Structure 1
Amino acid sequence: MKNRIVQCVGAVIGAVALSLGSATTAVAVESSPAVEHCAVEAAQLGSTEELAEPVCFGTTDGLNAFLEKVGAGNAARGVTANVLLGTVYKDANGTGASLAFYGSSGCAEVTFGFSTLTAGWDNSISSARGSNGCWLTLYTATNYGGSKLNCTPYCSSIGGWNDNVKSLVFRPAGTFG
């Protein structure tokens, strides 16, 4: 009788362990969503052009291949059809999901703006970087309102603006918003 009780208890413990293992695995899978890396073409500030929707990829390699295809490389490497203006990130230190902005020229004497960030990017930025001679100004309200923070050219973290950015401007290096 004692052996039978020990066997039953052992079977129950084994079943509980198996079910907990499955639950733990299911939770782990659900808690690690895919990180997206996106790119969007920017229009000059004040332009009446309709803003394009971002194009997204599951890897930075996919994003980099797309940026190279549209010619949004490093302006210092030679003539390009488009120029990378900068990138915003959902996590601090330039990590996590990213949204790269590219335009028809660098920021020399040209300013590019997004009065309202695309869905999924408003209120989710934690770090930002300007590229190719662009500095970046982040705003806590749409239409370039509210508090602002200048990234000259990189903000590894954005303090009180974290997850509160609603609009942004890329401007020539040396100019502040």
Structure 2
Amino acid sequence: MGKNLRAAIAALAVIAAMTVGPLPTANAAVPEDSESHCAVQVLPIGSSDIADDPVCFGTEDEVADYLAGGGVGGENTRGIAASTVVGTVYKDHNGSGASLTFWGSSGCSGVTFGFPSLASGWDNSISSVRATNGCWVTLYTATSYGGSRLNCTPYCASIGSWNDNVKSLVFRPQGTFG
């Protein structure tokens, strides 16, 4: 009887899995040949938390919907509606091309956010940057905020010799420099 019971439970599990189908995921798939627009949480410097991987979409509007907590295509894929954009980096000059938007729990008033090592595909590929919500941004040519640095107060349409050389960045309160 033990074998029959186990076989029946296994069969029911298979039927249930086929009935439910695949579960939705937080990552919206973006074809590799398209221009991607991503969002990632940035943490206060000194935080022991680990940031999640970026979530990518096909358009900047989809990123905005995601950050507003509305999800994409009517699905609420992220349960956090209390997010504040602190800045965006772009793969091309003048705020164009693929983008990575950084969001935190607040703007930069009294808080400094850092990304000591940029996500794969974003290190050595930034050409312009914009900080928002009371933030300025400092770009670094080495991980862990090392190497040469450039302050954008709050926007750099072009980053000169730092183009495609940024490896880490800090969003800090407006009026402060790195």
Asked if TM exceeds 0.5, the reply is: yes
User: How many Å separate the matches in 1 of 2:60 and 2:99?
Assistant: 9
* Displacement of 1:68: 1.2
> Superposition pairs for residues 1-177 of structure 1, below 5 Å?
33-69=33-69, 81-177=82-178
Note the alpha carbon deviations across 1:63-108, whole angstroms, 9 max, x for none. 11101117xxxxxxxxx71211000000000000000000011100
State the AA in 2 paired with 1:44: P
Q: Distance in 2 between matches of 1:59 and 1:154?
A: 21
Amino acid at match of 2:141: T
* Displacement after TM superposition at 1:33 (Å): 2.8
Root-mean-square deviation over aligned CA pairs: 1.6
Question: Structure 1: which 4+ aligned runs deviate by more than 2 Å?
Answer: none
Structure 1, gaps ≥5 residues long: 1-31, 71-79
Higher helix proportion: 1
Give the gaps of 5 or more residues in structure 2. Answer: 1-31, 71-80
In 1: Cα distance, 2:123 partner to 2:93 partner: 16
For residues 94 and 174 of structure 1, the distance between their equivalents in structure 2, rounded to whole angstroms, comes to: 22
Q: C-alpha distance in 1, partners of 2:174/2:54? A: 25
Q: Percent identity?
A: 64
Q: How many residues align?
A: 138
Larger radius of gyration: 1
* CA displacement, residues 103-161 of structure 1 (integer Å, 9 cap, x when unaligned): 01110010000000000000000000000110000000000000000000000000000
Query: Quick one: distance in 1 between partners of 2:83 and 2:68?
Result: 9
User: Distance between the aligned counterparts of 1:103 and 1:140, measured in 2?
Assistant: 23
